[in-house]
Amino acid sequence: MPTTLLYHRDPLLLTFDAQVSAHGTHDRRATVVLDQTAFYPEAGGQMADRGALRVGEVERRVLDVQVDEAGLVHHLLDDGAPPAVGAAVSGVVDGARRRLFMALHTGQHLLSHALLTVARADTASSRLGESACTVDIDVPALADSALREAEALVNQVIDEDLAVHAWFPDERELAALPLRRRPKVADNIRVVAIGGRDGVPLIDASPCGGTHCTRTAQIGVLSVAGAEKYKGKTRVSFSAGARARRELLDQVVLLRALAAQLSCGPLDVVPAFDKLRRDVLALREGTKQLVEQVAAAAASELVAAQPAPAPIVAVLGDKELMRAIAAQLMSREGRHALLAANDGDGLHVVCARGPGSSFDCAAFLKELTRAHGGKGGGKPERAEGRLPGGLDWHKLTTG
Ligand SMILES: [Zn+2]
């Protein structure tokens, strides 16, 4: 006899009495099978319930719940002897987790309906995970505006607080129902419908065996995080219920902190950040021009102080300034420059030659690193590298 599924009748039932009907196994782990259960077993993309089974004074945690092909629900308990076959037990379902998955699941139905309405996008599959929920839809791409529109439509139905019905219609009733998707089973088809009774228009009807809210307002809120291309389809990420509320509130805290840093209101963060970005770019450009001017002046001074044919040798305080001076000196006819910048840990060095010079910069640097360690390389015209600290650059270059 398959296990009687109490959650089908009442998804809000969190405590129940039952009898142990068998000991079983699932994935080689020992399980307890009951004659009836309010625990939802993992199925249809929805995670299993958690909670506890009590036998007299003893309480055993329910770590996982699975269902087999015969319809037997297996409860995987924490370590210890399983309650005896025939024993009376009482079950307690983790209410917060159940309510969350009810919200996620009902939210998923509404989101699939909304994506169909807004973008004619059929849901191929969905997954309600421990930390993330997704709906894969049969379109190659979806505009952000369509996602926002679908999200708004879902939240509108949530606000309307419509009744959610779950039942097993007979064949005639089933044939007349405009199901959003075809059932995966041939008989005993359970339908979950949002609206559609007592003069309320039917919003969505689909075959489903999961746990759902009994009214749409219990979802609380649904937020669509975004969409990405996935195997020729589009994967939409969403959140709902207490999880969405927690995520959104956490994001508000971060947004407020960012706004405080930028000295603006939370809604002005994007323009304030954009201004900051433009300021940084302008500053970077100004600094670059300044460095070039300083480098040009420094290069002229070095050339004047160190007449040809000797190499132009210098130790500078800044790596970027050193590179800029090297670039200036590469235009000096017949000269080559051996520059270093001391950053405390060692020497960053650049060797560069001007037109008409036959000095081999790469060979020179290679010889230095061979003799003293460090690394670097380049071409005959220009080479760059690092040497260990404690070396005297003037001695190395004039010795
Ligand atoms: Zn469902």
Domain boundaries, the chain: 4-93, 98-260, 295-398
Query: What separation in Å is there between the alpha carbon of 190 and the centre of ligand 1?
Result: 10
How is residue 215 annotated by DSSP?
Answer: B
Query: What separation in Å is there between the alpha carbon of 319 and the centre of ligand 1?
Result: 62
Query: What separation in Å is there between the alpha carbon of 208 and the centre of ligand 1?
Result: 5
Query: What separation in Å is there between the alpha carbon of 149 and the centre of ligand 1?
Result: 22
Q: Alpha carbon of 307 to those of 132, 136, 324: distances in Å?
A: 69, 72, 20
Alpha-helical segments (H) within the chain: 6-9, 95-119, 144-159, 171-176, 241-261, 269-305, 319-329, 361-372, 393-398
Q: Nearest to residue 66, comparing CAs of 48, 82, 51?
A: 48
Query: What separation in Å is there between the alpha carbon of 46 and the centre of ligand 1?
Result: 9
Domains 4-93 and 295-398 share a fold: no
Query: What separation in Å is there between the alpha carbon of 213 and the centre of ligand 1?
Result: 10
Query: What separation in Å is there between the alpha carbon of 318 and the centre of ligand 1?
Result: 64
Q: Alpha carbon of 175 to those of 167, 171, 182, 202, 343: distances in Å?
A: 14, 6, 11, 15, 79
The full DSSP string for 61-92 is EEEEEEE-TTSPEEEEE-SSPPPPTT-EEEEE
169, 172, 176, 181: CA torsion to nearest 10: 60
Q: Nearest to residue 349, comparing CAs of 312, 376, 325?
A: 376
Query: What separation in Å is there between the alpha carbon of 109 and the centre of ligand 1?
Result: 6
Question: Is the domain covering 295-398 a CATH 3.10.310.40 domain?
Answer: yes
Question: Domain 4-93, what fold?
Answer: Elongation Factor Tu (Ef-tu); domain 3 (2.40.30)
Instruction: Please list the pLDDT of the chain residue by residue as tens digits (399 residues).
Output: 899 999 999 999 999 999 999 999 998 899 999 999 999 999 888 999 999 999 988 999 999 999 999 999 999 999 888 899 999 999 999 999 999 999 999 999 999 999 999 999 999 999 999 999 999 999 999 999 999 999 999 999 999 999 999 999 999 999 999 999 888 877 889 999 999 999 999 999 999 999 999 999 999 999 999 999 999 999 999 999 999 999 999 999 999 999 999 999 999 999 999 999 999 999 999 999 999 999 999 999 999 999 888 899 999 988 999 999 999 999 888 899 999 998 888 999 999 999 999 999 999 999 999 999 999 999 999 999 999 988 899 998 876
Q: How far apart are CA 74 and CA 31, in angstroms?
A: 5
Query: What separation in Å is there between the alpha carbon of 209 and the centre of ligand 1?
Result: 6
Question: Is the domain covering 98-260 a CATH 3.30.980.10 domain?
Answer: yes
Contact (Cβ atoms closer than 8 angstroms) between residue 178 and residue 79: no
Query: What separation in Å is there between the alpha carbon of 105 and the centre of ligand 1?
Result: 5
